[in-house]
Structure 1
Amino acid sequence: MRRVEAEHLWPDAVAAALSRFKWAFKEPGRYLTGPAESPGIEIEDGRDDLEVALLYLPTGARADLGRLVERIDVEFERRTLPNPGWVSEWTAGRWWWWRIRER
C-alpha cells in the first residue's frame, strides 16, 4: 500500500474530506460527485485523506473519526458497485478506489 506521511495533510484536511462526503451524499441516487468548486477532485481522494489521518491521530480522536469513517464507508459502498476488473498497485489496500459510480 502506498504510504502517505502525515505532513502531506494540510490544516483542515479532515474537515475538507468530511465535507466532500457530506456534499456527495446529499444527492439522491448512485452517482456521487464532489463539490462544484473542486473540479477534478474525486471523493475517493477525501477517503485517502481520512485513511492517513486515522494512521496518525491519537487513540481517542482516531476512535471518533473511525466511527464517522465507518458510516461513510457503509454509505459509499451502498451507493456504488464493485469493479473487480480494475485493481492496480496504486489502489492496493484502498477498496474505495475499486468501486464504480453510476451516472
Structure 2
Amino acid sequence: MPRRRPEAVRAERWRPRRHVVVRRIRGVSARTRAAVRRVEEERVRPGAVADALARFEWAFRQPGRYLNASEVWQPGLEVEDARDDLEKVMLHLPLGARRDLGRLFARIDEEFERRTLPDPRPVRVRAPDGWWWARTRER
C-alpha cells in the first residue's frame, strides 16, 4: 500500500471554523481549550462551556448564603442547565483535558453544593439526571 502524502493527511484533520468568536476559559491549559472547542463544535454549540461558566460566576456572585430560586440568568436557563452542558462536554473530552477541566468543575460543584440544600422529596421522585438536580435553592 503506498504511503499517503503529508498534505493529504493534514487536510483531513479537524480545524476550527474561522470567524467564530471564542470566549476564553480561564484556569485551563491551551491544549484543554482546543479540546473543548472541538467538542463544542462537534457536540453542542461554540462557546457553550464559557457560557455555562459565566452562568455559575453570575449565580455565585449573588449575595446570601443560598442561591435564590427566583433569580435566573435568563428566562428558561438555570444553573442546573449550565451544569448539564458542562457534563455533556466532559463526556467527550480526552482524558488529559477531562482532568484539567475536572479540577475547575470540582470547585464549582463544591460551591454549588454549599449554596443549595438537599431535596426533601424521596429519591424516586427526583429528576433522574445529575446530582445537581436533586438540590433545592432558597425561595
Q: Same fold (TM over 0.5)?
A: yes
Higher RCO structure (Cα 8 Å, ≥6 apart): 1
Structure 1 gap ranges (5+) = 1-5
Distance (Å, rounded) in 2 between the aligned partners of 1:86 and 1:96: 15
Alignment CA distance shift 1:15-1:56 (3 Å):
same
> 1:82 corresponds to which residue?
118
Distance change >3 Å, CA 89–CA 20, structure 1 → 2: same
Residue 12 (1) aligns with residue 39 (2): no
- In 1, the alpha carbon distance for the partners of 2:101 and 2:58 equals 18
Q: Secondary structure at the match of 2:45?
A: coil
* Structure 2 residue ranges without an equivalent (≥5): 1-39
TM-score by length of 1: 0.80
What TM-score do the two structures reach when normalised by structure 2? 0.61
After TM superposition, give the deviation of residue 65 of structure 1 in Å: 1.1
Post-superposition offset of 1:34: 3.6
1 CA distance for matches of 2:129 and 2:76?
Answer: 22
Identity rate, percent: 57
Report SS of the residue matched to 1:25: helix
CA contact (8 A) 1:86 1:98 kept: no
- Mean CA deviation greater in 59-68 or 72-81: 59-68
**How much does 1:60 deviate?**
1.7
Q: Could you say which structure has the larger radius of gyration?
A: 2
**Structure 1 runs of 4+ off > 3 angstroms?**
86-90
- Say what the alpha-carbon RMSD is for the aligned residues: 2.2
Partner Cα separation in structure 2 for residue 99 and residue 28 of structure 1: 19
Q: Note the C-alpha offset of 1:28.
A: 1.9
Distance in structure 1 (CA, Å) of the matches to 2:125 and 2:43: 20
1:20-44: CA deviation from partner (whole Å, max 9, x where unpaired): 1001001122124442xx2121110
2:88 corresponds to which of 25, 37, 52? 52
Q: Count the aligned residue pairs.
A: 96
